[in-house]
Amino acid sequence: MSRIRLRYVNAFANRNRKNERVRYYFRRRGQKAIPLPGLPGSDEFMAAYAAALNTVPEPVEVGASRTLPGTIDALCVSYYRSLEWSQLNATTQAKRRRVIEGFRAQYGAKRVATLQREHIETMLNKIESAAARRYWWTQIRPLLKFSVPMFRKDDPTLDIAKIKIKSKGGHHCWSDDEVAQYRAHWPLGSKQRLVLELALETTSRRSEIVRLGPQHVRDGRIRIDRIHGSRPVDIPITPELKAGIDAMAPTHLTYLTTPDGKPRSPHGLAIDFAKWCDAAGLPARCRLHGLKKAAMRRLAEAGATGHELMAVSGHKTLSMVQHYTAAADRSRLADSAMAKRNTNAVYTNTAAPLHKRGKKL
């Protein structure tokens, strides 16, 4: 005869009881036991079992018993539950959590109230790279600002100066010749070509283009949900982008997929794109994010205003637009400026040459 095992049901034998020596309990892991009356299979037992299954257990936080109030451990737990944390997108949360968890592993048992400015500076000095120091600082500072006023009265990071690094120009801005070389190597109908068209013709980051699919295209326009705090945009599809999309028959909700049909990850796409650039004979400086800078540069050279660029890129401030358009073709802009000069003007303020003794020649 077959037996039916009920989940979460445990039987206990009590040798000191003459009657009903076996008692039954419903118990989920980490939860209090609920007694079940009668025998398994009886109406009384099954009704109590169904009621116990419908109870919603309270979430048990791993390590909660080891988190002491007022410590950095407790601060991290509170921060992860906060409104500030919930408003961050998933990518930002993942990056910040990696830094915070490293900080927590070293100093989790320390009290937040005893953390001083010199302690933060010592931690920063242990990081060799200036870029790594600034990245660590930008991820830890929101956590410490959140500690006021629940864990401490003041912000220990308030008086620490912003970490500056020597600018190297950031990602290389692709030239028109480099774009043409890539297009010549990877023809229409290849996924390598479609990646370039999506990034260049929509001024998009890698985290944005991996989400794009046929559902974002309508009436000759494409809608893109920007990340990193930028606004969503709705822009016309250029002929180059239309040719790239039409040459690849869409079979999934995203244009870019893995061989298994799954959506591409931003990191994996960047690695593959670097290999595709190498195969096209392009220099190592040509990478995926540089196409966004190239797109902004081309729009700036075409005469687009700052606010027009913001409407395409989704940036909220003109300062960010200027950051991307710094590589605009200065020689072409210089020609435009010189063309505005009045060549027929006569300049009369030229000083007459003087003799070495002060007499006019």
Q: Where are the domains of the chain?
A: 9-54, 67-146, 176-337
Instruction: Give the pLDDT confidence of 27-81 residue by residue, as tens digits.
Output: 887 677 888 888 888 888 888 888 888 775 555 455 555 678 899 999 999 999 9
CATH topology of domain 176-337: hpI Integrase; Chain A (1.10.443)
Cβ neighbours of 304 (radius 10 Å): 17
- φ/ψ of 113, rounded to 5, equals -65, -25
Q: What is the full DSSP assignment across 247-276?
A: TS---SSSS-B-TTSPBPPHHHHHHHHHHH
State yes or no: pLDDT of 143 exceeds 90. yes
Cβ neighbour number for residue 319 with a 10 Å cutoff: 9
Per-residue CA distances from 277 to 16, 198, 272, 304 (Å): 79, 15, 9, 29
The 10s digit of each residue's pLDDT in 86-135 is: 988 887 898 899 999 999 999 999 999 999 999 999 999 999 888 899 99
The angle formed by the CA atoms of residues 207, 169 and 134, to the nearest 5 degrees, is 70
Listed in sequence order, the residues at least 6 apart from 292 whose beta carbon sits closer than 8 Å to its beta carbon are 199, 200, 203, 204, 205, 313, 324
For residue 108, what are the contacts with CB-CB under 8 A and spacing of at least 6?
Answer: 71, 72, 73, 76
Put simply, whether the predicted model's pTM sits higher than 0.85 gets the answer no
